[in-house]
Amino acid sequence: TQLLEQSPQFLSIQEGENLTVYCNSSSVFSSLQWYRQEPGEGPVLLVTVVTGGEVKKLKRLTFQFGDARKDSSLHITAAQPGDTGLYLCPASNDYKLSFGAGTTVTVRA
Amino acid sequence: KAGVTQTPRYLIKTRGQQVTLSCSPISGHRSVSWYQQTPGQGLQFLFEYFSETQRNKGNFPGRFSGRQFSNSRSEMNVSTLELGDSALYLCASSLGQGAMYEQYFGPGTRLTVT
């Protein structure tokens, strides 16, 4: 079973600041997905990265997949209160997604 | 295209009762997976249904069961409810079987067991 660690677990920043969230594993992934979940709602798929070294941008969010496909990062530029949520990067283990604790991001206005 | 829908959104049950939750996948999606989310354990996989058959199952007791209909809609049943079953139950749909397909989650059903 592939395991994936996220860091930091909690992050609280002021509106306008930048932040980076990391996913790390000792295993190689064929692909990796990032989700954001708001309280009381289901996770929303943000992006899927597939190719080692791949960089994808979604407005102010930049996702990078490590060259060796063992890690990934999410960078948010000029964070806004609407970016607040739980960020998840589950590991794909054959038939299921295995979730870690995720990173809880709070952006203060 | 409409997203994944789950009904009901909120449910309060008493210990010992049973409950049925419903999930309608995105049109064209044939796989439905169910997850339980609690503050202590996070998101945990319950089971996956594809073509009306349970394909995979997580580490949950037999009180948790499910089924899938020919239109890909799925239901999850929990019998003899326990206080620890209080959680957000999420279903996710995908085009095909397995985690290599992107999974899209519904808003969840918040179950409270008293």
What mean pLDDT comes out for the span B41-60? 93
- How many alpha carbons fall within 13 Å on the CB side of residue A102? 27
Give B25→chain A minimum CA distance, Å. 14
Q: What is the pLDDT of residue A28?
A: 87
Is the pLDDT confidence value at A74 over 80?
A: yes
More confident residue, A72 or B40: A72
- How many alpha carbons fall within 13 Å on the CB side of residue B94? 18
Report how far residue A105's alpha carbon sits from residue A36's, in angstroms, rounded to the nearest whole number.
10
Q: What is the pLDDT of residue A100?
A: 86
Any CB–CB contact under 8 A between B33 and chain A?
Answer: yes
Q: What is the pLDDT of residue B86?
A: 98
Lookup: tokens for B10? 């909120």
- The residue of B4, B5, B43 whose CB has the most chain A CBs within 10 angstroms, and thus the best one to mutate to test that interface, is B43
Report how far residue A76's alpha carbon sits from residue A57's, in angstroms, rounded to the nearest whole number.
10
Q: What is the pLDDT of residue A92?
A: 78
Is the pLDDT confidence value at A98 over 90?
A: no
What mean pLDDT comes out for the span B76-98? 96
Report how far residue A91's alpha carbon sits from residue A1's, in angstroms, rounded to the nearest whole number.
9
Task: Output the average pLDDT for chain B.
Answer: 95
- Torsion A66-A5-B106-B95 (CA) sign: positive
Any CB–CB contact under 8 A between B54 and chain A?
Answer: no
Q: Is A12 exposed, middle or buried (0-12, 13-18, 19+ CB in 10 A)?
A: exposed
What does the pLDDT look like over A13-69, one tens digit per residue?
A: 999 999 999 999 888 888 889 999 998 899 999 999 989 999 999 999 999 999 999
Amino acid residing at A33? Q
How many CB atoms sit inside 10 A of residue A28's CB? 11
Q: How confident is the model at residue A2 (pLDDT cuts 50, 70, 90)?
A: low
Give B30→chain A minimum CA distance, Å. 14
What does the pLDDT look like over B6-18, one tens digit per residue?
A: 999 999 999 999 9
Any CB–CB contact under 8 A between B109 and chain A?
Answer: no
Q: Which of A44, A93, A95 sits opposite B55 (nearest CB)?
A: A95
Cβ of A43 and B105 within 8 Å? yes
Q: What is the pLDDT of residue B94?
A: 94
Q: What is the pLDDT of residue A31?
A: 83
Cβ of B58 and A102 within 8 Å? no
Is the pLDDT confidence value at B49 over 90?
A: yes
Q: What is the pLDDT of residue A1?
A: 54
Q: How many CB pairs under 8 A join A and B?
A: 61
Cβ of B43 and A40 within 8 Å? no
